[in-house]
Amino acid sequence: MPANDILPGNIKNSDITILAIESSCDDTSASVCRDGTILSNYIANQTVHEKYGGVVPELASRAHMQNIVPVVNEALLKAGCKLSSIDAVAFTQAPGLIGCLLVGAQFAKSLSLALNKPLIAVHHMQAHVLANLINDPKPKFPFLCLTVSGGHTQIVLANSATELKVIGETIDDAAGEAFDKSAKILGLPYPGGPLIDKYAQSGNHRAFKFAEPQIKGLNFSFSGLKTSILYFLQKEINQNNQFIQENIADICASIQSTIINILLKKLKKAALQTGITDICLAGGVSANSGLRKAFKELGEKNKWNTFIPDFEYCTDNAAMIAITAHYKYLAGDFSDLSVSANAKAAWD
């Protein structure tokens, strides 16, 4: 709890205006939220990494330093809000690239000190889940969320906005990495996930079969899939060096369908085990058109209420940090200025 005198007195859900900052990877984002309604969500994507085939941490930190002031100004402007009307400053504390997190953390701490307003530290993965609480209709507690991003793959049980538990996760690569690494093998540029999605739309997902991992419980594994794709392609290219070019749509559709099967099988298992029927998707990979369709179909078949955040709230964004901070504010969960960014912190 803060050692100073900046804690709000009687906390109630009215007129709470929060400025939130997200800088965990390669997007600099700021958002303003009032009483749980997002007033602005401004995101500056970093293009500097494209030519390197992945995010370069040092370049990402430097880009955050350049972006943070204009991004925060833009978010305030769009929300029609002055710094003086902010009640709390929130930021992504963990996990992420440490240099990137530090930029957001230091900025938020300085602002909190200068404005004499409370500081709220938010866990990025909790925020991906709570992005489902931004728009209506909202899931009812308890709900399950399959979070699929470039760095994480988790099944989360949410008993309330502040009581979340990871009940399944990847033991190696994340689903987004499985997409991006498969794309790399196919010679597609980074990030390859959206390109696999695009090619898959005109392909036959039954054309090729890739091995699915046999992992017990609710955990996932994707590293074997990458190897299976690599060996399969090496064999085919030996016989026909144009194999990838001639079959790109079918290869992408088959890879995508394998990843979706792995994800949804475990999600169905989690729903059966817990008896929960409000089920959400979150994270950048939930932009995948095949996954969205299969998730909705599975939901209809099993009579689930399914939820997917709007696209801008699926990939990294500060609105999800703001909504999470809103609930932390209501719970009186504030941090003092000694709080520091953490690349790997667990959250339950």
- In the complex, the smallest distance separating the C-beta of residue 97 from ligand KG4, rounded to whole angstroms, is 11
Size of the site for Zn ion (CB under 5 A): 2
Q: Which helix (H) or strand (E) holds 291?
A: helix 289-302
Please compute Rg for the chain using Cα positions: 21
Q: Which does 72 bind (CB under 5 to 8 A by kind): Zn ion, ligand KG4, none?
A: none
- In the complex, the smallest distance separating the C-beta of residue 189 from ligand KG4, rounded to whole angstroms, is 11
Q: How does DSSP assign 237-262, residue by residue?
A: HHH-TTHHHHHHHHHHHHHHHHHHHH
**What is the spatial distance between Cα 254 and Cα 264, in angstroms, rounded to a whole number?**
15
In the three-class reduction of DSSP (H, G, I as helix; E, B as strand; rest coil), residue 168 is classed as strand
- E strand segments, the chain: 17-22, 27-34, 37-45, 88-94, 119-123, 143-148, 153-160, 163-169, 278-282, 305-307
Note whether 225 and 210 are within 8 A (CB): yes
Q: Which does 180 bind (CB under 5 to 8 A by kind): ligand KG4, Zn ion, none?
A: ligand KG4
Residue 316 in contact with Zn ion, rule: CB under 5 A: yes
Residue 23 in contact with ligand KG4, rule: CB under 6 A: no
Residue 22 in contact with ligand KG4, rule: CB under 6 A: no
- In the complex, the smallest distance separating the C-beta of residue 241 from ligand KG4, rounded to whole angstroms, is 27
User: What does the H/E/C string look like for 179-236?
Assistant: HHHHHHHCCCCCCCHHHHHHHHCCCCCCCCCCCCCCCCCCCECCHHHHHHHHHHHHHH
Site for ligand KG4 in 235-254 (CB under 6 A): none
- In the complex, the smallest distance separating the C-beta of residue 58 from ligand KG4, rounded to whole angstroms, is 18
Q: Given the rule CB under 6 A, which of 174-182, 244-252, 294-302, 330-338 is the region that contacts ligand KG4?
A: 174-182
* Residue with Cβ nearer Zn ion (197 or 316): 316
One residue of 288, 306, 324, 335 binding ligand KG4 per CB under 6 A: 288
Q: Phi and psi for 42 in degrees, rounded to 5?
A: -100, 130
Q: Given the rule CB under 6 A, which of 108-116, 134-142, 277-285, 300-308 is the region that contacts ligand KG4?
A: 277-285
* Residue with Cβ nearer ligand KG4 (115 or 287): 287
Contacts to Zn ion by CB under 5 A: 149, 316
Give the interface with ligand KG4 as residue ranges (CB under 6 A). 25, 149-151, 176, 179-180, 191, 193-194, 197, 283-285, 287-288, 315-316
